[in-house]
Chains A and B, each alone.
Chain A
Amino acid sequence: MFAQAVANGVVLGALFALLGAGLTLTYGVLQVPNFAQAGVITLAAYTMLWLNQSAGWSFWLAVGGGLAVGGVISVLTARVAYRFVRTRPLAAPVVALGMLLILDNIALVLFGGDHVSLSPPYAGDVIHLGPVNVPAVGVALVATAALALLGLYVFLQRTRVGRALRAVSQNAEAAAMLGIRLERQYAVAFFISGILAGLAAFAYGPMYAVFPYMADAILLNAFVVVVLGGLGNVVGAAVSGLFLGLLESFGAVYVSAAYQTLIGFAVLLLMIVLRPSGLFSSSERRIA
């Protein structure tokens, strides 16, 4: 029971970490809480499903197509809407929600509201680790998240573009003065975030179900992860994603599975009560 809860928690935590990393990246550069990330996940998942089942592509090719679509849609959200609200922090969260409403309902109109499932070649496999059973899709999720986060970390630390991204998230004006093109960095950040959303769709679709509102509730948990881990902090997102995943998994096993999401809410409440300032004040300017 305990070991199984740990295993479930790691799988859930890997998903939270994957989502949290994308959110923290886009928040870092544009100060927009990117609720539309959930819509990107939905559309990427449906693209994979459609390419695989209707267009007859192989599963892995379809996943690649879904990732590309996720990246492009994510960049589009930034180009179409977010750049207009950069100077209006009050409007940013609700415009992001508006984009989510649009993307989710595009999925609903195009693909209908039924719950369908994305099935990779290894869908039915279960891996036994002593007393613990982990479905192969869960292992794939953890592996995907680990590789993606490691790749993201190396990209941000070691590459020229990654350093430029960090510079923009620390101080956009100073970065612009030093010759970094902001618009291009926004596009890069949102493209990466879209790819991460696509990876989440690939990992999440086979575990749960694909439907228009599939990622909405889980995205709120990912925001708790971002708040816990510190804004713009990828390592923090990974660690706190795992933490929240384990916490919710234990809650589901030992308290009540129906109220699992409540635990994320409780963590958010605790954070707000215990750390009311600093992390939580949107009026603060990020300095250096």
Chain B
Amino acid sequence: MHERVSGRSALDARGALVSRLLAGLGPARDYLGIALLGVVLWLLLAETNAFYSSVLAAILIWTIATSGLNIIAGLGGYPSLVQGAFYGIGAYGSAIAMQWGQPYWAAVPEAMAAAALLGLVIGVVFSRTRGQYFAIGMLFSGLVVALILNNWRSLTHGALGLTVEFGFANIDQLNVAIAATATLALGFFRFVSRSRLGWRLLTILENEDLAEHIGVPTTRTKLTGLVLSAAIGALAGTLIGQYNGTISPDLFDYFVGFVMFVALSVGGAGRVLGPLLGSVFIVGVPNLLNLPSGIGLLLAGLIFVGVSILLPGGFMSAIDALLLRLRPKAGPP
């Protein structure tokens, strides 16, 4: 062990200096990293060819939606399988608001508010349930939203779907918006995870009864978490509407919420970069390899069940373990 460290001492000294500098930055270091990542993502989005760019855009939009989900499911430990419905409300809400003559920048907060309201209603009813009942209730809620999108023809045109007015000057602006929103969503999750809300959600994850006992307002905390998740899910929905140009109910079928949960769990629930990593695997890989939908979902299911059984922390925990092994042992302080 020791000879290996001394053989790389020069490198280690420089590494230690960098890490001390970074440590001095405190929490700003994380935000700086997320911002840098955002710039890289934007460059990739703008500079790669149309195919890669579209795959990356799909990944980033899913990253936003699953970052929202990460608040209630990752921090709070509640398997919210209804995120696909909030995503759909965002897409349909903004498209319909724009049809009614609203500009895009006004339609987005309106759609987010609609999803947040739905999240509040679902939360008030189902926050008193746990485990399997919560999961069943969430799935059913997603099914009902999909049913309404399919059948409220005067508003949604049913299975035919809607054409979405383009709210940007050109695709470059939309790419900037997607990269910026994904960066903000990751940063926002980083912020929430260290806020009072985040700590409270974590106590609920660890032991809800005990949390209640020591004075954590569990119901209010869960509701706040779900409402935030819903609003961010809807934000992602407004972007997929803009990117696709048309939307139809099958994009937001009830199992989409479950696949989002799969992406989050595979990446690493409760981790800032978990949603990005998970979306790369669940959305990016099948798109890149141009797999038929059945095979893509089959792989997603296999990866998910495998990760759930063997690697409960998701791929982020595997990366942690790898980094820990590569990094030189920390010396005395």
Contacts and interface: CB of A to CB of B under 8 A. Distances in A.
24 contacts: A27-B132, A81-B305, A81-B309, A89-B132, A90-B77, A94-B265, A101-B262, A101-B301, A102-B298, A212-B294, A216-B255, A224-B140, A259-B147, A261-B144, A261-B147, A264-B140, A268-B136, A268-B137, A269-B125, A272-B128, A276-B128, A282-B130, A282-B132, A283-B130
A227 B126 CA distance: 14
A282 B128 CA distance: 11
Contacts of B139: 97, 220
B258 A101 contact: yes
B129 interface: yes
Contacts of B132: 27, 33, 89, 92-93, 282
B227 interface: no
A101 B253 CA distance: 14
Contacts of B294: 105, 108-109, 113, 212
Given A95-B309, A101-B301, A265-B143, A259 B151 contact: yes
B305 A272 contact: no
A79 to B, nearest CB: 12
A102 B298 CA distance: 5
Nearest to B73: A94
Interface of B: 77, 79, 81, 125-126, 128-133, 135-137, 139-141, 143-144, 147, 150-151, 208-209, 255, 258-259, 261-262, 265, 292-295, 297-298, 300-302, 304-305, 308-309, 312
A93 B301 contact: no
Contacts of B151: 258-259
A95 B208 CA distance: 22
Interface in A76-133: 81, 84-85, 88-95, 97-102, 104-106, 108-109, 113
B156 to A, nearest CB: 13
Contacts of A261: 143-144, 147
B133 A85 contact: no
Nearest to B151: A258
Chain A CB within 10 A, most for which of B125, B136, B305: B305
B298 A262 contact: no
A282 B136 CA distance: 13
A30 to B, nearest CB: 12
Nearest to A221: B140
Contact of A94 (B79, B133, B137, B293): B79
Interface of A: 27, 33, 81, 84-85, 88-95, 97-102, 104-106, 108-109, 113, 212, 216-217, 220, 223-224, 227, 258-259, 261-262, 264-265, 268-269, 272-273, 276, 280-283
A223 B140 CA distance: 10
Contacts of B209: 283
Nearest to A257: B151
A108 B295 CA distance: 8
Given A92-B132, A102-B298, A108-B298, 12 more contacts: A81-B305, A93-B79, A93-B131, A105-B295, A109-B298, A216-B255, A220-B140, A258-B150, A264-B140, A272-B125, A272-B129, A283-B209
Contact of A258 (B128, B136, B147): B147
Nearest to A39: B301
Contact of A98 (B136, B292, B301): B301
Contacts of A216: 255
B297 to A, nearest CB: 5
A259 B146 CA distance: 11
